[in-house]
Amino acid sequence: MAGIVVVFDFDKTIIDLDSDNWVVDELGATDLFNQLLPTMPWNSVMDRMMKELHEQGKTIKDIEEVLKRAPVIPRVVPAIKAAHALGCDLRIVSDANLFYIETILNHLGISDCFTEIHTNPGYVDEEGRLRIRPHHDFHTSSHGCSSNTCPPNMCKGLVIEKIQASLAKEGKKRMIYLGDGAGDYCPSLKLKEQDFVMPRKDFPVWKLINENRDLVKAEIHGWSDGEEQEHILLQIIKTISMEDNQFLSVDCKFQTIPINAVHEAMTKALPVPY
């Protein structure tokens, strides 16, 4: 299962809301946010909001405490831990920001499960203010995405293409992508026939995929809640490993162990609740 790469979106895929809205609302800045939103790109609005909150006396500690209260999709943490324990390479591709994501992952105790996080840079400057920058510098050039569903600051499709190129060098070949938003549609189009996409049902990416199924090469498995996400994800991992490894060779008197025996042990060790 070392050849399986699982890519998670973050907002509404790991946590059960939009992290930007959560921080703004919890810190009492919703009205100002709504005033600024029509005047500049979302990513720029969030950087401006952090400036305004800093000037109002809100601290990094205040932001961290709000993030730690963010509701998490039920069963997603056990699913992540199980996929990691099974040897999968877990990564995050998100239009949130690094400060938010790392704060929440550390709070949940799952930061070590992920090998990479691709998102908008988020860092604390010398004045103690949180700064949020675009993943792609849209002020100097366009990322060139043709899907018309990606925001100017981040094309997840380009990110997935870079991951795919690195995986080819490492010999890894199967990808599972989980997401919910319109920005998750473009990366879904980049997946190969041997890959899997898990769109959240009745969310924007689900609608886009269903309207353009002929364009999606990957196998599609929708999910509605955390329990379904966990069950489908672990079932796909099991299916991939069974397809790719009919037998696990053991260098001991040329004996082999049937892969179904391994999965029987895996099932006992990591039961999936229904």
Q: Which residues of 234-244 are buried (b: 16+ CB within 10 A; e: fewer)?
A: bebbbebbeee
Task: Return the closest-CA partner of residue 164 out of 1, 7, 2.
Answer: 7
Active site residue 112: no
Do residues 89 and 176 lie in contact, with contact meaning Cβ atoms separated by under 8 Å?
no
For the question of residue 11 being annotated catalytic, the response is: yes
Angle at 154 between CA 152 and CA 157, to 5 degrees: 115
Q: Does the predicted TM-score (pTM) go above 0.75?
A: yes
Among 11, 18, 47, 184, which one carries the catalytic annotation?
A: 11
Look at residue 241 in the predicted model and tell me its pLDDT: 86
d(C-alpha 151, C-alpha 154), whole Å? 6
pLDDT of residue 147: 64
| Rounded percentage of the chain residues whose pLDDT exceeds 70 | 84
pLDDT-based confidence at residue 144 (cuts at 50, 70, 90)? low
- What is the reported pLDDT for 146? 65
Question: Which of these is catalytic: 9, 20, 47, 195?
Answer: 9
* Identity of the residue numbered 60: I
Q: What 3-state class would DSSP assign to 10? A: coil
Is the distance from CB of 135 to CB of 122 less than 8 angstroms?
Answer: no
112-124 pLDDT, tens digit per residue, is 999 999 999 999 9
Structure confidence by residue, pLDDT tens digits, 212-260: 999 999 999 999 999 999 999 999 999 998 887 653 443 333 333 344 4
pLDDT value of residue 270: 52
Q: How far is CA 174 from CA 6, 145, 195, 244, in A?
A: 9, 24, 5, 10
Half-sphere exposure of 196 (CA within 13 A, CB side): 22
Residues ≥6 apart with Cβ < 8 Å to 2: 87, 88, 89, 172
Predicted local distance difference test score (pLDDT) of residue 135 = 85
* Separation between Cα atoms, residue 209 and residue 188, nearest integer Å: 8
